[in-house]
Structure 1
Amino acid sequence: MSDERWRPRWWLLGNFGVIVVVHLVASGGWTTTTTVMAPIALVVTLVMVFVRRLPWWLTGEAFKGGRFLRVAGIAGLLLLDVVIVAALVVHPPHGGDVANAGVGVAIFFGGTAVGVYSLLPKRPVTRRSALRRRYRIATALMWATVGLALGGEVAVIVTVGDWLPWVLPVPAAVAVLALAWWRSNLGTVARCFASDSWTPVAAAAFDVRPGEPVNGWAVLPGDVRIRFHLSAVPADIAAELAGRRRLWLAGWPSEYLVTGLPEGTSYAVGLIGVHRRGGKKTVTHESAASVSSRA
């Protein structure tokens, strides 16, 4: 991660707040354990938020190791889950330990899911057909998770005679929120293409290569000059940008800088930053809609 584009990992601070709230609710308020552990956890979280160079497995950022390390990491995570399940089978919990065991399993399985997702190599999606397919998959997964969580809780109530307040609802709620966020991002881009509205804008960039990230300048409607960043530019968009110095914006104005060609089948989603005279020329996560409103 370059120093120029580095930003504090604010989402980790948000995670800390959520964990504290869940702990307080589960513990019935502030306890001695909270008094001891909360300051320590806050210090560790602040280090993870503001220290730039930390291991990927500590911050949850993209893994950049080789194939062997990826396979070894995934195998290690899965082996850990197998050991936990085997231990529960050999020594099944009883009474109040059932809920604690369920929470532990949910935490480890959730951590495994996040870890495996981080370790798997990810290829940027640039086909509009793949975008629509991913949107349908996200929708199906979100509602399937809701259905499975409700069905599992009903099954527990019928079998045990009482519901488990932390074993299923909390992990299910986290999963549903994550899927809803993913679906919302995909839906925003998909709606831009569904609008069938295209706006050509003048744009220029150096060293435009198909399949590679691109940084450049563009002039939005209303003579708003911006600096943009596109990741993994498809060949047709790269040719349009390099040859005609032009970008086609789908569904503009929108939350993102969604580019493509009216007759094409690929797309790219960009980040934009406003160029201010005398200021640092960087690309930020500023909403494209907020920039268009200044025109």
Structure 2
Amino acid sequence: MSDERWRPRWWLLGNFGVIVVVHLVASGGWTTTTTVMAPISLALTLVFVFVRRLPWWLTGDLRDLRNGRRVLRAAGIVGLLLVDAVIVAALVVHPPHGDDVRNAGMVVAIFFGATGAGVYWLLPKRPVTPRSALRRRFRTATALMWATAVFTLGAEVAVIVAVGGWLPWVLPVVGVVAVLAIAGWRSDLGVAARCLASDSWTPVTAAAFDVRPGEPVNGWAVLPGDVRIRLHLPAVPADIAAELAGRRLWLAGWPSEYLVTGLPEGSSYAVGLIGAHRRGGKKTVTPEPAASVSSPS
């Protein structure tokens, strides 16, 4: 740790105060042991607090360690897993009976949930980018769709067995509507998610007038096979705008109704609409595919 950033280790002084209070409570007040050990402990604590160059293993200050954060994360994860292991071992050695089973289940659920949350919080996170956010939303939509379907099926069976009446006829309708709504959301996300996940990039010649980052763009492009199209991008990220200003676009996957663009090593993307030249009219860009563009064999 550099001298410019160094600060006294005040937390060690706080630890000393907590230990003294616990000792006084446990021993029932001030004793001869306290009289002897308190001044010695205070002197050592002051040394640890104010002396700068001490090894990290003596002070416990992981900031003095080059990979202190990694050690702290690993120690935290190992500590959480050890606590869970101790709880499981205690339940195996002394299994609960009767009403204690429910209490033991609640304790296990609480500690295991806390462990999961703690491990998630301790693990290093990658920076959130538009592409990573898209992948996360797509996986969430997939999991939510299947979970809703399974829950609806299980609830229907439980209602038929336990309740009966008119409810088993209404519940499937609500469940199917929910599943279809989530499936539609997943389908919209899947257009770009599948193209980007293919990791297949094709550079094409493209151009547009008045290209500004973050604003809609109308232009044209020439797909492989000399297929000329009109395109519309709703909001162009800065890196894609720079490529388009250089008369080039990178296509992810193979275009059909929508055009997914980005950079092979980039973190952003844009989903555009494809239009084509119609006989007797001008080139337009519409949500429906004006011309069928198939992948080359």
Task: Give the TM-score range, shorter chain.
Answer: 0.5 to 0.7
Instruction: Find the aligned partners of 2:142 and 2:179 in 1 and give their Cα distance.
Output: 10
CA contact (8 A) 1:188 1:255 kept: no
CA contact (8 A) 1:192 1:254 kept: no
Instruction: Find the aligned partners of 1:218 and 1:170 in 2 and give their Cα distance.
Output: 45
Pairing 1:132–2:129 present: no
CA contact (8 A) 1:231 1:270 kept: yes
Report the CA distance shift for 1:141/1:288 in structure 2 as closer, same or farther (over 3 A).
farther
1:256 deviates by: 2.5
The aligned counterpart of 2:203 is: 200
Deviations 1:71-111 (A, max 9, x none): xxxxxxxxxxxxxxxxxxxxxxxxxxxxxxxxxxxxxxxxx
The aligned counterpart of 1:269 is: 271
Aligned with 1:161: secondary structure? Answer: coil
* 2:259 aligned to which of 238, 254, 257: 257
Aligned residues: 170
Instruction: Find the aligned partners of 1:254 and 1:240 in 2 and give their Cα distance.
Output: 21
Instruction: Find the aligned partners of 2:199 and 2:295 in 1 and give their Cα distance.
Output: 21
Pairing 1:280–2:285 present: no
Pairing 1:221–2:221 present: no
CA contact (8 A) 1:216 1:227 kept: yes
Structure 1 gap segments, 5+ residues each:
1-124
CA contact (8 A) 1:274 1:291 kept: no
The aligned counterpart of 2:175 is: 172
Among the aligned pairs, what percent are the same residue? Answer: 83
CA contact (8 A) 2:222 2:228 kept: yes
After TM superposition, the structure 1 = structure 2 runs for residues 109-148 of structure 1, keeping only pairs within 5 Å, are 127-148=130-151
CA contact (8 A) 2:257 2:274 kept: no
Instruction: Find the aligned partners of 1:216 and 1:227 in 2 and give their Cα distance.
Output: 6
Normalised TM-score (structure 2): 0.52
Aligned with 2:275: secondary structure? Answer: strand
Instruction: Find the aligned partners of 2:178 and 2:142 in 1 and give their Cα distance.
Output: 13
The aligned counterpart of 1:246 is: 248
* 1:209 aligned to which of 207, 212, 225: 212
Aligned with 1:180: secondary structure? Answer: helix
Report the CA distance shift for 1:126/1:234 in structure 2 as closer, same or farther (over 3 A).
farther
- Structure with greater Cα Rg: 2
1:240 deviates by: 0.9
Instruction: Find the aligned partners of 1:294 and 1:144 in 2 and give their Cα distance.
Output: 38
The aligned counterpart of 2:194 is: 191
Instruction: Find the aligned partners of 2:287 and 2:164 in 1 and give their Cα distance.
Output: 49
The aligned counterpart of 2:109 is: none
1:226 deviates by: 0.9
Of structures 1 and 2, the one with the larger relative CO (CA 8 A, separation 6+) is 1
Instruction: Find the aligned partners of 1:237 and 1:199 in 2 and give their Cα distance.
Output: 14
Pairing 1:149–2:146 present: no
The aligned counterpart of 1:13 is: none
1:285 deviates by: 2.4
After TM superposition, the structure 1 = structure 2 runs for residues 2-151 of structure 1, keeping only pairs within 5 Å, are 127-151=130-154
4+ residue segments displaced more than 6 Å = none
C-alpha root-mean-square deviation of aligned residues, in Å? 2.6
Aligned with 2:170: secondary structure? Answer: coil
CA contact (8 A) 1:248 1:262 kept: yes
Report the CA distance shift for 1:264/1:289 in structure 2 as closer, same or farther (over 3 A).
farther
Structure 2 gap segments, 5+ residues each:
1-127
1:163 deviates by: 5.9
1:289 deviates by: 8.3
Instruction: Find the aligned partners of 1:237 and 1:275 in 2 and give their Cα distance.
Output: 24
1:195 deviates by: 1.8
Normalised TM-score (structure 1): 0.52
1:223 deviates by: 1.2
